[in-house]
């Protein structure tokens, strides 16, 4: 009788082992080059978030949540952060937050340009799309395999995995956002003599911002999930709390980690979702809100609010 | 393939490509509103978009003051689009994230004009289109008509001399559309742009157009002034459009009047016969000074003297219409038994208009031979 195990004649594991050994040996500079910026940004973020006093972090987070989203989200953010501190996992939570913010920075720096490139070139999109499909259908857990092989274990390789997992939605949404800009808008740009660059910056990108922010929300959530999973390859943070709790059969500790993760995830989701929400009560375009933040400063907030209140039309429906 | 005599359907089956335009040749005079009229799929928009090469023509030439746009390189084309040709879109195509003023100055911003200069220009054009106080609002706060005014302001801001209006008023409510048409005519009196206006609405074409080109199936089927097209559609296809036209508003008094040949009457006065046996008396400047009825005129011919030898006490019961007045206006002015004088801009008599000729003009029936007297 033929047994399934009899068919196991391909020593694939050995091949891959050899292949990876070869790659690790010969392409080491490449992986170092990939690792370096990740490490740099991550170290900076961890340093900042760990060094800034607890109250200052809460204050900044609440302010951001208020200005970018709404007062309700700001209240929730404050309560959630205090709760995390009360659970005794503040430092771990800040490490996780560093992993996520680093992922946001790097994904935005890499993903948005790739997305723009894909939107402008069907050929590039034809190459990138299947890769994204594979990346997004791969379970997050499986990402760890190549990462460990190529980058080793620890927080920085963990961050590489987070960035890799989190980038696809942003690329996809950027591409989609730009392609969805109405042809008449693009034609208007062309008819008035826009160069390709002007068309992108004056017409396509501003109109794609809401969609891109939707992608950012997806990226943040994926990064959140991944930042927990990478505890398995030795990355620090809330994931490690859960993992340790499970390892020691310390259910209480694992639950504490879990609760903190949920709280942090909800805060991030609320804030980024509000950013992308079209015309909702608190939905304001990110750029304008940031500009208002910078221009008015915390002392003249009322003015800033008044300005942004009139100005949420970026996302108003296209037939208006 | 088309040049070799292939039909459009043959091109489609053999190459999978649709022929948008085939052998269309037009010349548009500067300062005119040139209407391109056709139903959807007739190629009218394609034609307009070829002008600023939003659609690339595969063959042919587009000359703008002698410069061939089709042959222009990328930079040259950009320059033409920035300074020579601007465009108004059917669905306005205003950027929702920018204020009305920022939208109006869009073309100037692309040219790299400094913020102060372009803001001043934006305010100028916004006040031209009647939106002076709306500069800081966003497009979504405006009604459809106001948004298209912004679209128009944006097109005017670059000071291009050619304006392509692609179904510019088609997305507006009927009342607003009429208002915008009147507005465009009013603006055009001072702006004197060369406007290429695309429309599927024949009434709109008649109302706005200096000349009209009617397209069907990528080809030009009729071209001419509104009046000439209605008078002579030339084909059943065009006749289907002209059938419903309100001719009383379209045709002016000039088109239906009988021209006059004044003959000297006495020193300094001329006589122009009105066709019913009577005549109008003109001074030496060509202005109508009075009326002679049929009986008096016959009397004069037979040698009877007029009561007052200097014609100082002529009857004044005639009505006057201008050449450019519509037949509807003429019909309203018409009074039984009173001759109607048609005068030019300076008030000089150029013709007379009898009631039956007004009716014939409105019915677009071929006018019967002029003048009952000589019939």
- Give the pLDDT score at B7: 62
Nearest to B107 among A192, A285, A318 (CB): A192
Q: Are B258 and B340 in contact (CB under 8 A)?
A: no
The label of the residue with tokens 């970026």 reads A314
Share of chain A above pLDDT 90, in %: 46
Q: What pLDDT is recorded for position B309?
A: 58
Instruction: Tell me which of B250 and A283 has the higher pLDDT.
Output: B250
Q: What contacts B112, CB < 8 A, 6 or more positions away?
A: none
Give the pair of three-digit tokens for residue B50: 């070829």
pLDDT at A242: 92
Q: Sort A231 into a burial class: Cβ within 10 Å, 0-12 / 13-18 / 19+.
A: buried
Q: Quick one: pLDDT band at residue A110, thresholds 50, 70, 90?
A: very high
Cα–Cα dist B334/B320, whole Å: 9
pLDDT tens, residue by residue, B198-237: 998 888 888 888 889 888 888 888 888 888 888 888 888 8
Q: Given this model, what pLDDT does residue A275 score?
A: 78
Interface touch A202/B54, C-beta < 8 Å:
no
pLDDT recorded at residue B128: 87
How large is the average pLDDT for residues B340-360? 84
Helix (H, G, I), strand (E, B) or coil at A180: helix
Contact B111 A193 (CB under 8 A): yes
Residues contacting residue A259 through CB under 8 Å, at least 6 positions apart: A87
pLDDT of residue A301: 36
- CB–CB of B165/B89 below 8 Å? no
pLDDT digits (tens, 9 = 90+) for A266-297: 999 988 888 776 543 333 455 555 555 554 44
Intra-chain end-to-end CA distance of chain B, in Å: 57
Query: For residue A216, what are its two tokens?
Result: 């950012």
The tens digit of pLDDT for each residue in A38-84 reads 899 999 989 988 888 999 999 999 999 988 888 899 999 999 999 99
Q: Is the pLDDT of residue B42 over 50?
A: yes
Picking from A185, A192, A210, A287 by the largest number of B CB atoms within 10 A of its own CB, the best residue to mutate is: A192
- Only one residue has tokens 């390859």, namely A233
- Tell me which chain B residues have a C-beta less than 8 angstroms from the C-beta of A185: 93, 95
**Residue B1 confidence (pLDDT) above 60:** no
Confidence of residue A230 (pLDDT cuts 50, 70, 90): very high
Q: Which two tokens stand for residue B189?
A: 């009196």
Q: What is the 3-state secondary structure (H, E, C) of chain B?
A: CCCCCCCHHHHHHHHCCCCCCCCCCCCCCCCCEEEEEECCCCCHHHHHHHHCCCCCCCCCCCEECCEECCCCCHHHHHHHHHHCEEEECCCCCCCCCCCHHHHHCHHHHHHCCCHHHHHHHHHHHHHHCCCHHHCCCCHHHCCHHHHHHHHHHHHHHCCCCEEEEECCCCCCCHHHHHHHHHHHHHHHHHHCCEEEEEECCHHHHHHHCCEEEEEECCEEEEEECHHHHHHCCCCHHHHHHHCCCCHHHHCEHHHHCEECCCEEEECCEEEEECCCCCEEEEECCCCEEEEECHHHHHHHHCCCCCCCCCCCCCECCCEEEECCCEHHHHHHHCCCCCCEEEECCCCCEEEECCHHHHHHHHHCCCCCCCCCCCC
Contacts of A287 in chain B (CB under 8 A): none
ipTM of the complex in this document: 0.70
Residue B109: list chain A partners with CB under 8 A. Answer: 202
Q: What chain A residue is nearest to B79 in terms of C-alpha separation?
A: A193
Q: How far apart are CA A193 and CA B369, in angstroms?
A: 57
User: Does residue B375 surpass a pLDDT of 50?
Assistant: no
Q: Which of A24-28, A105-109, B44-48, B350-354 has the highest mean pLDDT?
A: A105-109
Contact B97 A184 (CB under 8 A): no
Q: Average model confidence (pLDDT) for chain B?
A: 81
Beta bridge partners of residue B165, listed in sequence order:
B88, B197
- pLDDT value at residue A103: 92
What are the tens digits of pLDDT across the range A232-271?
Answer: 998 899 999 999 999 999 999 999 999 999 999 999 998 8
CATH 1.10.1740.110 holds for A24-276: no
- Considering CB atoms only, which of A187, A195, A313 is closest to B140? A313
| Closest residue on chain A to B76 (Cα) | A193
At residue B20, the pLDDT reads: 56
- Give me the residue spans of the domains in chain A: 24-276
Q: How far apart are CA A7 and CA A155, in angstroms?
A: 39
Residues from chain B that touch A202, judged by Cβ atoms under 8 A, are 95, 106, 109-110
Distance from CA of A311 to the nearest CA of B (A): 8
Shortest distance between the Cα of B158 and any Cα of chain A, in A, equals 9
What band does B3 get if pLDDT is binned at 50, 70 and 90? low
Number of residues that this document lists for chain B = 375
Q: Is A316 in Cβ contact with B140 (below 8 Å)?
A: yes
């Amino acid at each position: 009788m033929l047994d399934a195990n009899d068919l196991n004649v391909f020593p694939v594991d050995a091949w891959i082992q050899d292949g990876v050994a070869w790659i690790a040996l010969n392409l080491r500079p490449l992986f170092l080059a990939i690792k370096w910026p990740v490490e740099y940004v991550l170290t900076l973020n961890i340093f900042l978030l760990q060094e800034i006093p607890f109250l200052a972090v809460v204050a900044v987070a609440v302010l951001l949540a208020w200005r970018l989203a709404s007062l309700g989200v700001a209240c929730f953010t404050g309560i959630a952060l205090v709760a995390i501190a009360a659970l005794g996992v503040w430092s771990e939570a800040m490490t996780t937050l560093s992993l996520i913010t680093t992922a946001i920075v790097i994904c935005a720096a890499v993903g948005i340009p790739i997305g723009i490139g894909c939107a402008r070139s069907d050929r590039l999109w034809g190459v990138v799309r299947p890769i994204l499909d594979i990346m997004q259908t791969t379970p997050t857990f499986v990402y760890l395999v190549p990462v460990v092989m190529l980058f080793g274990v620890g927080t920085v390789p963990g961050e590489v995995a987070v960035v890799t997992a989190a980038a696809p939605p942003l690329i996809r949404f950027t591409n989609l956002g730009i392609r969805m800009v109405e042809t008449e808008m693009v034609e208007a740009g062309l008819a008035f003599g826009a160069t390709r660059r002007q068309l992108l910056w004056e017409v396509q990108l501003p109109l794609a911002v809401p969609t891109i922010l939707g992608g950012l929300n997806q990226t943040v959530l994926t990064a959140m999930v991944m930042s927990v999973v990478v505890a398995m390859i030795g990355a620090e943070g809330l994931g490690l709390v859960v993992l340790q709790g499970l390892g020691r059969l310390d259910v209480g500790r694992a639950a504490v980690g879990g609760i903190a993760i949920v709280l942090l995830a909800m805060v991030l989701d609320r804030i980024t979702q509000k950013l992308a929400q079209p015309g909702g009560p608190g939905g304001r375009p990110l750029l304008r809100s940031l500009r208002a933040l910078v221009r008015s400063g915390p002392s003249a907030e009322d003015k800033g609010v008044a300005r942004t209140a009139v100005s949420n039309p970026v996302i108003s429906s296209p037939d208006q | 393939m088309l040049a070799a005599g292939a039909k459009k359907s043959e091109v489609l089956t053999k190459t999978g490509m649709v022929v948008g335009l085939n052998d269309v040749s037009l010349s548009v005079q500067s300062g005119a509103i040139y209407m391109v009229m056709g139903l959807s799929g007739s190629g009218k928009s394609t034609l307009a978009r070829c002008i600023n090469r939003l659609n690339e023509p595969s063959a042919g030439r587009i000359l703008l003051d002698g410069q061939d746009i089709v042959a222009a390189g990328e930079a040259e084309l950009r320059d033409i689009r920035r300074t020579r040709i601007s465009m108004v879109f059917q669905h306005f195509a205003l950027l929702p994230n920018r204020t009305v003023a920022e939208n109006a100055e869009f073309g100037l911003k692309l040219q790299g004009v400094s913020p102060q200069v372009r803001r001043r220009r934006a305010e100028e054009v916004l006040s031209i289109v009647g939106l002076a106080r709306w500069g800081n609002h966003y497009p979504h706060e405006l009604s459809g008509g106001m948004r298209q005014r912004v679209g128009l302001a944006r097109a005017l801001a670059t000071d291009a001399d050619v304006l392509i209006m692609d179904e510019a008023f088609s997305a507006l409510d009927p009342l607003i559309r009429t208002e915008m048409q009147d507005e465009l005519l009013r603006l055009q009196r001072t702006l004197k742009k060369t406007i290429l206006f695309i429309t599927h609405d024949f009434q709109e074409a008649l109302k706005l157009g200096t000349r009209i080109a009617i397209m069907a199936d990528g080809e030009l089927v009729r071209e001419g002034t509104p009046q000439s097209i209605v008078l002579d559609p030339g084909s059943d296809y065009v006749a289907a459009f002209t059938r419903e036209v309100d001719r009383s508003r379209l045709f002016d008094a000039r088109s239906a009047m009988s021209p006059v040949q004044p003959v000297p009457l006495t020193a300094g006065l001329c006589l122009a016969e009105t066709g019913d046996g009577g005549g109008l008396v003109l001074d030496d400047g060509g202005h109508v000074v009075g009326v002679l009825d049929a009986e008096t005129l016959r009397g004069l011919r037979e040698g009877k003297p007029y009561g007052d030898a200097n014609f100082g006490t002529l009857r004044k019961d005639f009505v006057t219409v201008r050449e450019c007045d519509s037949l509807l206006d003429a019909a309203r002015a018409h009074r039984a038994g009173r001759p109607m004088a048609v005068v030019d801009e300076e008030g000089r008599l150029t013709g007379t208009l009898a009631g039956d000729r007004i009716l014939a003009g409105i019915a677009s029936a071929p006018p019967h031979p002029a003048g009952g007297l000589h019939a």
